[in-house]
Protein backbone atom coordinates (compact mmCIF):
# COMPACT_ATOMS: atom_id res chain seq x y z
CA UNK A 1 0.00 0.00 0.00
CA UNK A 2 1.41 3.37 -1.00
CA UNK A 3 1.38 6.25 1.41
CA UNK A 4 0.02 9.49 0.03
CA UNK A 5 2.04 12.57 0.83
CA UNK A 6 0.94 16.12 0.53
CA UNK A 7 3.15 19.09 0.08
CA UNK A 8 3.06 21.78 2.71
CA UNK A 9 2.84 25.17 1.05
CA UNK A 10 4.34 27.93 3.19
CA UNK A 11 2.11 30.93 3.82
CA UNK A 12 4.88 33.21 2.57
CA UNK A 13 5.27 31.44 -0.80
CA UNK A 14 5.84 34.15 -3.40
CA UNK A 15 7.14 36.75 -0.97
CA UNK A 16 10.26 38.62 -2.17
CA UNK A 17 12.27 40.61 0.36
CA UNK A 18 13.32 44.15 -0.49
CA UNK A 19 16.81 44.21 1.03
CA UNK A 20 17.42 47.90 0.32
CA UNK A 21 16.24 49.19 3.74
CA UNK A 22 18.54 46.72 5.54
CA UNK A 23 21.42 46.22 3.09
CA UNK A 24 24.04 47.65 5.46
CA UNK A 25 22.83 45.50 8.35
CA UNK A 26 22.82 42.38 6.17
CA UNK A 27 26.40 43.09 5.09
CA UNK A 28 27.51 43.71 8.68
CA UNK A 29 25.86 40.59 10.10
CA UNK A 30 27.17 38.49 7.21
CA UNK A 31 30.68 39.60 8.17
CA UNK A 32 30.02 38.51 11.75
CA UNK A 33 28.74 35.11 10.60
CA UNK A 34 31.80 34.64 8.39
CA UNK A 35 34.07 35.57 11.31
CA UNK A 36 32.59 32.94 13.64
CA UNK A 37 31.27 30.15 11.42
CA UNK A 38 34.40 28.02 11.17
CA UNK A 39 35.29 28.35 14.83
CA UNK A 40 31.82 27.45 16.05
CA UNK A 41 30.94 24.68 13.61
CA UNK A 42 34.28 22.90 13.24
CA UNK A 43 34.97 21.84 16.80
CA UNK A 44 38.02 24.07 17.21
CA UNK A 45 36.95 25.01 20.72
CA UNK A 46 38.07 22.58 23.39
CA UNK A 47 35.64 23.06 26.25
CA UNK A 48 31.98 23.78 26.76
CA UNK A 49 32.98 27.05 28.43
CA UNK A 50 34.86 28.12 25.27
CA UNK A 51 31.88 27.19 23.12
CA UNK A 52 29.48 29.09 25.35
CA UNK A 53 31.75 32.15 25.38
CA UNK A 54 32.16 32.09 21.58
CA UNK A 55 28.41 31.73 21.02
CA UNK A 56 27.65 34.53 23.48
CA UNK A 57 30.19 36.78 21.76
CA UNK A 58 28.79 35.84 18.34
CA UNK A 59 25.22 36.66 19.38
CA UNK A 60 26.31 39.95 20.93
CA UNK A 61 28.16 40.98 17.78
CA UNK A 62 25.07 40.16 15.71
CA UNK A 63 23.01 42.36 18.01
CA UNK A 64 25.66 45.11 17.88
CA UNK A 65 25.35 45.01 14.08
CA UNK A 66 21.54 45.35 14.15
CA UNK A 67 20.35 41.82 13.51
CA UNK A 68 17.14 42.80 15.34
CA UNK A 69 16.53 45.51 12.73
CA UNK A 70 16.78 42.86 10.01
CA UNK A 71 14.26 40.62 11.76
CA UNK A 72 11.86 43.52 12.33
CA UNK A 73 12.09 44.73 8.72
CA UNK A 74 11.58 41.27 7.27
CA UNK A 75 8.55 40.73 9.53
CA UNK A 76 7.17 44.15 8.57
CA UNK A 77 7.50 43.34 4.88
CA UNK A 78 5.95 39.87 5.27
CA UNK A 79 3.03 41.33 7.24
CA UNK A 80 2.50 44.04 4.60
CA UNK A 81 2.73 41.48 1.80
CA UNK A 82 0.17 39.20 3.47
CA UNK A 83 -2.17 42.13 4.07
CA UNK A 84 -2.06 43.11 0.38
CA UNK A 85 -2.16 39.60 -1.01
83 against 11, higher pLDDT: 83
Distance in angstroms (rounded) separating the CA atoms of residues 79 and 85: 10
pLDDT band at 1 (very low <50, low <70, confident <90, very high): low
pLDDT(76) > 60 = yes
Give the contacts of 12 (CB within 8 A, at least 6 positions apart): 78, 81, 82
User: Is the confidence at residue 79, as pLDDT, over 80?
Assistant: yes
pLDDT reported for residue 59: 97
User: What does the pLDDT look like over 16-65, one tens digit per residue?
Assistant: 999 999 999 999 999 999 999 988 888 788 889 999 999 999 999 999 99
Angle at CA of residue 20, ends 85 and 65, nearest 5°: 115
Q: How many CA atoms lie within 13 A of 39 on its CB side?
A: 15
Which residue from 34, 13, 31, 12 is spatially nearest to 23, judged by alpha carbons? 31
Amino acid sequence: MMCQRRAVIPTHMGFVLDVNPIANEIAATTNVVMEYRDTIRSGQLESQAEVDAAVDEFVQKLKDNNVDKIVQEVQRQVDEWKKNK
